[in-house]
Structure 1
Amino acid sequence: MSDEIKHECGLAYIRLRKPFSYYLQKHGTVTYGLNKLYLLMEKQHNRGQDGAGIAAVKLNTEPGNPFLYRQRSSAPQPIADIFFKIGQEIQELEKYQPDIKQHPGLMKGHLPFMGELLLGHLRYGTQGKNNVEFCHPFIKRDLMPGKNLALAGNFNLVNTDELFDLINMSPGDFQKQSDLAAMMEVIHHFLAKEDELNPNAAEVKKVLEKATPLFDGGYTIGGLLGNGSSFVMRDAHGIRPAYYYINDEVIVAASERAAIRTTFNVGENEVMELMPGMAIIVDDKGNYAIEKILEPKERRACSFERIYFSRGSDEKIYRERIALGHHLSQTVLERINNDLRNTIFSYIPNTAEVAFYGLVKGMEQYLNKIKVERILSWGNDFTPEKLEEMVNRKIRQEKIAIKDVKLRTFITEDANRNEMVQHVYDITYGTVRAGEDTLVVIDDSIVRGTTLKESIVRMLARLKPKKIIVVSSAPQIRYPDCYGIDMSKLGDFIAFRAAIALLKERNMEHVLTEVHEKIKELTRNGQLHTENVVRQVYKPFTTEEISDKIAQLITPAEIDTPVEVIYQTIEDLHDSCPTNTGDWYFTGNYPTPGGNKVVNKAFLNFIEGKNVRGY
């Protein structure tokens, strides 16, 4: 994605089902669980670079001794920072007893994070500040072990104010800025109501059944209780991803299938998807059950997971990204008039590489078809040289743009800062025949269009191609997200700005007035959640009209090279990614009422000039 956006979070959960001595004997290390947690988090480091945190619960501790520990970091490399500190603690212990790692009981007694229950989290901040106190897990302490709770998740909630009202709590400044704080308070509220001194798995199920129907949002959450019970749960629409792996040694859950496969070296079919509305609930003995907490609703798993967010090392995601690029090949061929001889294909940024392979695959299929037709048309009228030339024809592929290290500047004047922004990407000179070659570059998605205009298009134009075609493997992003991606301001979207520009050009600004009045009416009647009124902004225009206007908006005034933009269609997106049909940022079809509330509020913010989130 050329426009950097913050997105998603990553969850890592491990429950050790054997004594620490078992892992020492079988795997040669007493810190097996911590080692695996570190790998599970590192293999998902793409999911959060604002911070990280871990929590651990120790079983069967002596009364009066601590049993719940937490470490968080907002350092530049937060995962490494956390586990470096744990490593230092181990080294300190070894100074006094060099062979302490051969004594599981001593290690458990002296190393805080030697717990049987482990919970890790990677954070991309979509709400709150990026201070360490906003990093998950959050913890709630109590005198009763079973009412101690560590909680982390990949989610956004859009009804935090209502949640605090439901439990009659007046949130402080910190709680107001964190949806996890709201979720924590609600879950703990019901946990504290349980009569048992140490709630067992059955009570954990009851707590989740009472708490989670109140949450409006998409979520995968993991929780550890001080008595040894734990859980991982997914929302009823399956908006946020969750996978698990279980054998007689461990119970594992994470946000990405490939992370589990790599960490534990297991096959694809051994890692299961946690289905919508379901929870893995584990008791203090390590027994587990997959329980239905919420009645599953229409599956609306986030399609951006497949387009961009999840790591492409998952074989299904890899194939889906290939398909995304391949679906675009026919449209691209039409735009270049099937002139492959004078067209160069490339990709920006590196995360678009897999979709690029799919696009090129489509071009190769067309070229091979042409080769066969031409050769057959010759009959016996050909020479070895002529045949060799035809057989050796290739799709022209080049590494056109290279992203430099992140440029930083002390310059504050806009004109000079824009000059610096141009150099985020550098180009490979000598790859394009000036005035002859069309340049086709594919991106994962186009959000704001800022990097395209201020950097990429300017840099590509220096090569003097006949035409630049920017291809997006995702459809037009038209609406805010409120379920975990940091896309909440309508004015940020190049598609929305294009629609506004078209309305003004065609003297249709009354549409904006009508949308504004309708939203104000819904607000007065407490019905803001019932309808996505912002759809009316796009209704007068075809997708192609908006794409053409986007092409104009991302073309700097001084650039003479024609620029075109091609977007993925919604139909081809769903054909490529059939299990992840969540498309509200493209279509405005939100899976929960809170989505409508957010998009309408975002429009009010835009009209009133408020540069704030819609939730």
Structure 2
Amino acid sequence: MGAHNDEGLGGRLSFSAEEVSLAEKCAVLGIYDVPEASRLAFYGLWALQHRGQESSGIVSADNGYLYRHVAPGLVSNAFHKEDLEQLPGDIAIGHNRYSTSGASDGAHGQPVLIRNTKFALAHNGNFPVTTKLEKFLSDRAVSTREMNDSEMMTHVLSGLMEEGLDVDEAVKIAFPMLDGAFSCVAMTPKKMVAFRDHCGIRPLSIATLGDGYVVASETCAFDTLGAKFLRDIEPGEMVVFDEKGMHSYQVVSGKQKLDIFEFVYFARPDSILLGQSVNEVRHNLGKELAKEWKLEADIVVPVPDSSIPAALGFSQASGIPFEMAIIKNRYIHRTFIRPNNILRDQDFKMKLNPMPHVLKGKRVVLVDDSIVRGNTMRKIVKMLYRAGAKEVHVIVSSPPVLYPDFYGINISSQKELIAAHMTHSEIREHIGSDSLTYLSYAGMIRATNLPERMFSASCFNGIYPIKIGANADAIEKVHFART
């Protein structure tokens, strides 16, 4: 795929809803004033692969031109040596995508590039309301029928630039039209900007690298690149990188409301969010569970990989030995639709394999970070019993997921959520475990060592800090008793 090709790539990737776990929309990355910026962007995107696996892309700038390459799949598959050679320059932005708006295929790959204004943008987040963006474009005879939210935002900014505004001025003017969650990097041939919604729902940070700068969704990318963390971009802030250096503008007043699911599940454990180690917070989630619930068991077993820190924390606090009794095949990234249950079960077995010699005759505490639909947990519990477990006690290192998300997670319907329409005992019966335990909301907050006011916990409490428009009409208040 050539660097100049802007067309969609590949066929639609279809997955069984039963097999799809929680997924976060995207990762964004920006490199400014660093030689061979696209190569660094490639390695940075690799470090952020967990945030999106459907497509990967980079746009670079050199001698007044922008060059683009986007392809479906993982970073390692999307880029080859010759692709990076066609992305010259010392400015680059990159993106890994998991779709929550628009089709899950290459047609909406990012970064989005508008050639006539020489402008490109990468977006992490989601706009539950796009009315203002649509009106702006409609007033200028631009059709939005084939656009997703990220593309609408890009075309709005490009439209403002066509009217004579510089990119940073365009962002300031467009801010009131951006009704949703966004952590973005954007670029022109000589300038890069990074900006964040007024609640800071999705993370975005800055680092220095030599005389240049790196912007990334998570700090783990800085470690990979050898960059030095500088600071987080504040909610409502825009940071501009140009030939004069780095400049900051508080476009709107901000109030930090990071999605707490970043700590629970999404972020890599070696990242730092709001000054806190993700790995340490997940340890604390397990310790809080051990304080709240006393269990008689022989071993603590995590559902790999994101539940490992919480399981270690629970083991340490409870004194019950930790065992890696489930092995994950890390080379299986997606489960495609299968024509019958036998083949679907085969896919599951390819992902996770129990160790009978560890499990046989044991009372098992099975730790997972969340239960969304319940189907995967049901299979795991059955797998442990078949491997010889005497008892299986499921503990979850977060509260019940009761409400949908509209800020970039792939759960937009309350009907999908098992805790929204089943009681505690019905869920336990559905997954087939001897017992089921959730961490309390207060315990989750305590584990972060930060005040509740700094988080959006909409999936747990139904409070949405950024308006969600007509989506609110379909949400029902849920009262869930954990026991």
TM-score by length of 2: 0.85
Cα displacement (A) at 1:34: 2.9
Cα displacement (A) at 1:3: 5.8
Q: How does 1:165-564 map to 2 (within 5 A)?
A: 165-167=135-137, 168=139, 169=141, 171-175=143-147, 178-194=148-164, 203-226=166-189, 228-246=190-208, 249-266=211-228, 270-283=229-242, 285-297=243-255, 299-314=256-271, 316-333=277-294, 336=295, 339=296, 342-364=297-319, 395-404=320-329, 406=332, 412-414=339-341, 416-417=342-343, 419-420=345-346, 423=349, 424-432=351-359, 434=361, 437-453=362-378, 455-498=379-422, 546-555=423-432, 563-564=434-435
Cα displacement (A) at 1:172: 4.5
Distance 1:564 1:171, change over 3 A: farther
Which is strand-richer, 1 or 2?
2
Tell me, in whole angstroms, the C-alpha distance in 2 between the residues paired with 1:574 and 1:296: 21
- For the 8 Å contact 1:480–1:598, the answer to whether it is kept is no
Cα displacement (A) at 1:179: 0.7
Aligned equivalent of 1:4: 21
Tell me, in whole angstroms, the C-alpha distance in 1 between the residues paired with 2:475 and 2:339: 29
Distance 1:246 1:402, change over 3 A: closer
Structure having the higher Rg:
1
- For the 8 Å contact 1:478–1:586, the answer to whether it is kept is yes
Cα displacement (A) at 1:47: 1.2
2:463 alignment partner, SS class: coil
- For the 8 Å contact 2:69–2:83, the answer to whether it is kept is no
Question: Is 2:22 the counterpart of 1:50?
Answer: no
Cα displacement (A) at 1:433: 5.5
Aligned equivalent of 2:105: 131
Aligned match for 2:461, one of 587, 595, 608: 587
Cα displacement (A) at 1:308: 1.3
Cα displacement (A) at 1:439: 1.3
- For the 8 Å contact 2:38–2:58, the answer to whether it is kept is no
2:377 alignment partner, SS class: helix
Which is helix-richer, 1 or 2?
1
- For the 8 Å contact 1:205–1:293, the answer to whether it is kept is no
Aligned match for 1:159, one of 125, 129, 133: 129
What's the CA shift string for 1:44-103, capped at 9, x where partnerless? 1111110011111124x5xxxxx11111011x334543243335x5xxxxxxxxxxxxxx
Distance 1:79 1:186, change over 3 A: farther
Aligned equivalent of 1:72: 70
Tell me, in whole angstroms, the C-alpha distance in 2 between the residues paired with 1:271 and 1:80: 31
Cα displacement (A) at 1:496: 1.4
Q: How does 1:35-46 map to 2 (within 5 A)?
A: 35-46=39-50
- Letter matched to residue 484 of structure 1: G
- For the 8 Å contact 2:338–2:344, the answer to whether it is kept is no
Tell me, in whole angstroms, the C-alpha distance in 2 between the residues paired with 1:358 and 1:478: 25
Cα displacement (A) at 1:401: 2.1
- For the 8 Å contact 2:42–2:75, the answer to whether it is kept is no
Aligned-residue identity in percent: 23
Aligned match for 1:86, one of 83, 86, 90: 83
- For the 8 Å contact 2:62–2:88, the answer to whether it is kept is yes
| Ranges in structure 2 where 5+ consecutive residues have no aligned partner | 1-18, 477-483
- Letter matched to residue 429 of structure 2: Q
Question: Is 2:470 the counterpart of 1:597?
Answer: yes
What's the CA shift string for 1:208-266, capped at 9, x where partnerless? 2210121111111111124x122000110010110001366112100001211331253
Tell me, in whole angstroms, the C-alpha distance in 2 between the residues paired with 1:258 and 1:432: 34
Tell me, in whole angstroms, the C-alpha distance in 2 between the residues paired with 1:249 and 1:215: 32
TM-score by length of 1: 0.68
Aligned equivalent of 1:508: none
Size of the aligned set, in residue pairs, is 446
- For the 8 Å contact 1:242–1:256, the answer to whether it is kept is yes
Distance 1:466 1:489, change over 3 A: same
Tell me, in whole angstroms, the C-alpha distance in 2 between the residues paired with 1:78 and 1:464: 39
Tell me, in whole angstroms, the C-alpha distance in 1 between the residues paired with 2:336 and 2:309: 32
Q: CA RMSD in A?
A: 2.5
What's the CA shift string for 1:142-189, capped at 9, x where partnerless? 2xxxx32111110111122442123424524321xx111111122122
Aligned equivalent of 2:4: none
Distance 1:4 1:183, change over 3 A: same
| Ranges in structure 1 where 5+ consecutive residues have no aligned partner | 21-30, 62-66, 90-111, 365-394, 499-545, 556-561, 604-615
- For the 8 Å contact 1:191–1:204, the answer to whether it is kept is yes
- For the 8 Å contact 1:422–1:458, the answer to whether it is kept is no
Cα displacement (A) at 1:10: 0.7
Aligned equivalent of 1:27: none
- For the 8 Å contact 1:467–1:563, the answer to whether it is kept is yes
Aligned match for 2:440, one of 565, 569, 592: 569
Cα displacement (A) at 1:130: 2.9
Tell me, in whole angstroms, the C-alpha distance in 1 between the residues paired with 2:152 and 2:387: 53
- Letter matched to residue 354 of structure 2: I
Tell me, in whole angstroms, the C-alpha distance in 2 between the residues paired with 1:289 and 1:51: 31
- Letter matched to residue 81 of structure 2: F
- For the 8 Å contact 2:301–2:366, the answer to whether it is kept is yes
2:292 alignment partner, SS class: helix
Distance 1:79 1:433, change over 3 A: closer
- Letter matched to residue 587 of structure 1: N
- Letter matched to residue 78 of structure 2: D
Aligned equivalent of 1:117: 91
Distance 1:486 1:282, change over 3 A: same
- For the 8 Å contact 1:352–1:444, the answer to whether it is kept is yes
Tell me, in whole angstroms, the C-alpha distance in 1 between the residues paired with 2:251 and 2:110: 23
Tell me, in whole angstroms, the C-alpha distance in 2 between the residues paired with 1:419 and 1:12: 37
Cα displacement (A) at 1:304: 1.2
- Letter matched to residue 252 of structure 1: V
- For the 8 Å contact 1:422–1:459, the answer to whether it is kept is no
Tell me, in whole angstroms, the C-alpha distance in 1 between the residues paired with 2:287 and 2:102: 39
